[in-house]
Chains A and B, each alone.
Chain A
């Protein structure tokens, strides 16, 4: 019987090696696999390349992973965001490498990684600073940039519901990078708010087929924080 559930976050994170590329889903704290990131901090792998939309906010999650000196390189679309204190300090010291990627290109590079497309041309970034040092080509009159796929040794995902095959659905804006990241990991690890019996998630509504998923851990962490600005 296929059963991808593991009993603890520690079990979910077992075996992640130093120097791994780790994809971390989530957007604006929604659909972000915080328990798994904390588990990665606990687990101890270092010299990581982390791929996430931001360089972290505050002193938790990806920011803490960076703050503890475990990240060799961050690939993100927002390096400097409100409260990215830990990143700023370490970046100022030259202790982390930064690759800034337009957000849509970041999503597409991860999608390409999952879909076996090694590289693609995109008009995004054509004629800008971000095209420097990259192969470019004019296609249909527009300057396009050749971008490489991103694949993770590890992919960290938060789902709303999961079954034992690893079939996943997401909640509201918690979908964001999750289905894309889930498909692009050699080892895809999921924390899920809820557990479903096989068959409860019906064929028409499953967003991520379990084929993409390796391990699932039940983490009923509840709603993301409400921030009123």
Chain B
């Protein structure tokens, strides 16, 4: 993406170190345009979550530090803001691994998302109803403690909770994890709808590459703490390497997972 005036978020060349010694991001730059859906792809441990956490400033809580580079949101440097200040400004992250408040009920969990809002009870109630309509499953679970609901239900709560903040930019970390296939599609439909109707921008780290690239407009591929490839989503989706390694299709045909075994095994023997 080119240097452009209307970038909502631009991350410039950041380096992240955990625990003073573990260097994880080695100069990552990326941008999210106003009203864009940007996908961040990459293998396990590439540093996707770390990137998102450095944007939302949740990194410090894990003893990680941005040692180089800057992060700008709406043209303003935000590296030193507290996470809640960022939320007030409209940036919210849905953390990987759900992080529901176990001892709060599902509804209370959702309501915590509206903590920074100042637009009155009615508006909050409206959004609450909206979240319930997205995730009808949660209506049954309304009064259950979040600690007891199933993994997928927790994922719904985490996403719903972020929506309750009425954000401008949502950093979604693995939204599809643990969700039933039907629901995965639904989540991305919601993303799409929010993006189109309300102009919410998204930066999503996602392993389910095929869905992600279907909905995103632009994508970055992160390997080992570096961006190794970026481009428009459809371009990426048609790239041969991406197809092979991220979409699991070789030569236009999806391989059976059962056959993969033998193919792999051969590869291992050869090595």
- Bound together: no
Residue ranges of B at the interface with A (Cβ–Cβ < 8 Å):
none
By a beta-carbon cutoff of 8 Å, the part of chain A in contact with chain B is: none
